[in-house]
Chains A and B, each alone.
Chain A
């Protein structure tokens, strides 16, 4: 894209972060710059490390649930249900059907929240502040639903092992459907303001192109991988909960603004996924079965000796829980695999040769969340 001339005398080391407006969280990059052009990007992670995995070895299985919220606070519900699923698989617990439906519902609602935030933040990083606030306004409405369901708006702690601690009421479903209708209107408005904006397209098209092979080599997952053209969605390819009962298409990058796998594709994949989530939610509300939401469990959970790896499709890609049990009430080891951590590793490869403004756009399009990188 830009000619790179590595001239050691004329480079400037620029320290981006740990409190830079567009790193969105405590994250630091050491940039080697030639004027405005970036020669190398060194991410410096660890500022938000809270030893969540180590804490998992010190508390009982159900008590770890609130900590999973903090893995990715923008998509906390996804982390909750993912962890619950992992422990259930370890113990061989059968979750009631209604609880599984509820999990699908909260996961998809949370995915919408997360993608709305990402698209808004991307626009904000490109200098348009208004779309961000509009997106947050819509996000608040879904937060209201979460407040009705579980009492919290950001870190939900909404799953228990073996089911869900709450049930959804008919009035809540009606309110939720209303909000989804409003969201569809909002998406149209957002398309007019942002998606089809010429400046917006010119800032994102052909910037930070990640092809399919590179994406796989760097273990990108979720929307970032799909934007590169890969048909890979754990909801379809490795169905969990009851995702196989719903009809939906995998949103894949099309390269309509420039090259396949550019920043614009990553943005538009997320826009499409919001629509997909809306359609899954509508199907789920229509076919919600009745029954219990919590399986009967012993008072203290002691999984048998063994290990399990369960991965789910979170908003930021594959969210994996690897749990080793030694037969006691506390896990011997919990390892969490997150999408952002994989995504940050690609910054140096793709970031070289971009301009500073492009790096900001590229980073926002990868949808990095600092707590998810460090855990």
Chain B
């Protein structure tokens, strides 16, 4: 039972007795609606969270007027952005300009399909889940490049070109570091990767072997860079490129870019949790007879870990200055990629010599012998 859409489909068939194809369409539509709105809310929540965290870090308060602790600020912001004039520059390439934000949003939101929130709740546990997640998020770069070119603005163009170079480059170390995980589990399915780990830190892939330990940092750095977050936010560097690729965007379309960026923060944090920190795994004593309660605990556990990483992302955002574009490329091609290759080799030899046991298990095994 690892596909909730199918579960819902069966439920509809049993209770309403409608056509199979129609039922499938309805159930997938409903699930898509639920998950998309979930990520929309998460994206909005992150904008609020970012502003509050930034306020704390910068010794000020941040938005606290709309609703309790200002939690509804995101709604106010959203309404404001929707009501604003949707300005399209006279010399812009209008179809491309209109399309670009949607590509960004689709690229990020589609990644949610393979993110497992608990052992049961995942839209589709694809057997190529890892590949899918890495590939679909690259669609963002098309959106950014398209938007920057269509804006017919030199600052946008510079931002778009920087972004394209950056995202395409950082895909490689990110994928290479995830390959270590795939090597251990022997599967590209997210659920299999999580099941291969445990609830406790020593069962996480983060501590599996020195290779994966380093691979996590490479993955997280590359994911940050792919997401254009500080210290890698050169595509929208506001002090250099005004606003980079979204200089000409306003209102709704700007908010789509914005939402995509924040949803992407959630996606990369959840991927880090899934690959290296045990995903939804909870200790055995928390697994109860009641299926729903178990799932809720799993979701809470998963979201808690994810939000820890989201906080780290925000923390970095408000602490570090940004790198220069050539330094960024140097870091990727000269350091991250070779190191991730070495990590892959270490993991491979670990799997070969110790049969996939983690270094802690091997260590304990040596002591008890």
Contact = CB atoms under 8 A, between A and B. Distances in A.
B320 A357 contact: no
B244 to A, nearest CB: 11
B324 A203 contact: yes
Contact of B238 (A21, A130, A199): A21
Contacts, number: 78
B320 A199 contact: yes
Interface string B30-46: 00000000000000000
Contacts of A48: none
B326 interface: yes
A241 interface: no
Nearest to B326: A355
B319 A130 contact: yes
A193 B318 CA distance: 11
Nearest to B322: A127
B58 A134 contact: yes
A123 B239 CA distance: 10
A355 B322 CA distance: 14
A200 B321 contact: yes
Contacts of A239: none
B325 A357 contact: yes
Given A12-B154, A22-B240, A130 B322 contact: no
B322 A356 contact: no
A130 B57 contact: yes
A268 to B, nearest CB: 16
B321 A197 contact: yes
A360 B240 contact: yes
Contact of A130 (B58, B239, B324, B326): B58
A373 to B, nearest CB: 19
A63 interface: no
A355 B329 CA distance: 14
A129 interface: yes
Interface stretch (B126-134, B228-236, B264-272, B356-364): B228-236
Contacts of B238: 21
Interface in B301-320: 318-320
A126 B321 contact: yes
Given A21-B242, A22-B239, A357-B240, A133 B60 contact: yes
B57 A202 contact: no
Contacts of A357: 234, 237, 240, 324-325
A129 B54 CA distance: 9
A318 interface: no
Contact of B327 (A15, A124, A202, A360): A202
Given A14-B154, A199-B321, A200-B321, A127 B239 contact: yes
A245 interface: no
B59 interface: yes
A197 B321 CA distance: 9
A137 interface: yes
A134 B59 contact: yes
B82 interface: no
A127 B230 contact: yes
Contacts of A193: 319
Nearest to B327: A202
Contacts of B342: none
A116 B324 CA distance: 24
B96 interface: no
A360 B154 CA distance: 17
Nearest to A15: B154
B346 interface: no
Q: Which of A21, A125, A127, A360 is packed against the most chain B CB atoms within 10 Å?
A: A127
Contacts of B326: 355
A358 B323 CA distance: 10
B271 to A, nearest CB: 25
A20 B242 contact: yes
Contact of B237 (A123, A127, A137, A200): A127
Contacts of A292: none
A119 B57 CA distance: 18
A36 to B, nearest CB: 6
A26 to B, nearest CB: 15
Contacts of B59: 133-134, 137
Contact of B320 (A14, A197, A360): A197
A128 interface: yes
B327 A133 contact: no
Interface string A129-145: 11001100100000000
A127 B321 contact: yes
B13 interface: no
B182 interface: no
Contact of A36 (B58, B158, B242): B158
B324 to A, nearest CB: 5
B240 A199 contact: no
Interface string B156-180: 0010001000000000000000000
A127 B233 contact: yes
Contacts of B318: 129-130
B56 to A, nearest CB: 10
B52 to A, nearest CB: 14
A269 B57 CA distance: 27
B23 to A, nearest CB: 51
A199 B239 contact: no
Contacts of A200: 321
Contacts of A127: 230-231, 233, 237, 239, 320-322
Contacts of A128: 230, 319-322
Interface in A216-268: none
A123 B320 CA distance: 9
Given A125-B240, A130-B58, A356-B158, 19 more contacts: A21-B239, A21-B242, A22-B240, A36-B158, A125-B239, A126-B322, A127-B320, A129-B54, A129-B318, A133-B60, A134-B58, A134-B59, A194-B321, A197-B320, A200-B321, A202-B327, A203-B324, A357-B325, A360-B240
- Which 5 residue pairs are nearest across A and B when measured between Cβ atoms? A127-B322, A126-B321, A128-B321, A133-B58, A22-B239
6 contacts: A22-B240, A36-B158, A36-B162, A126-B321, A127-B231, A128-B321
Interface of A: 12, 14-15, 20-22, 36, 123-130, 133-134, 137, 193-194, 197, 199-200, 202-203, 355-358, 360
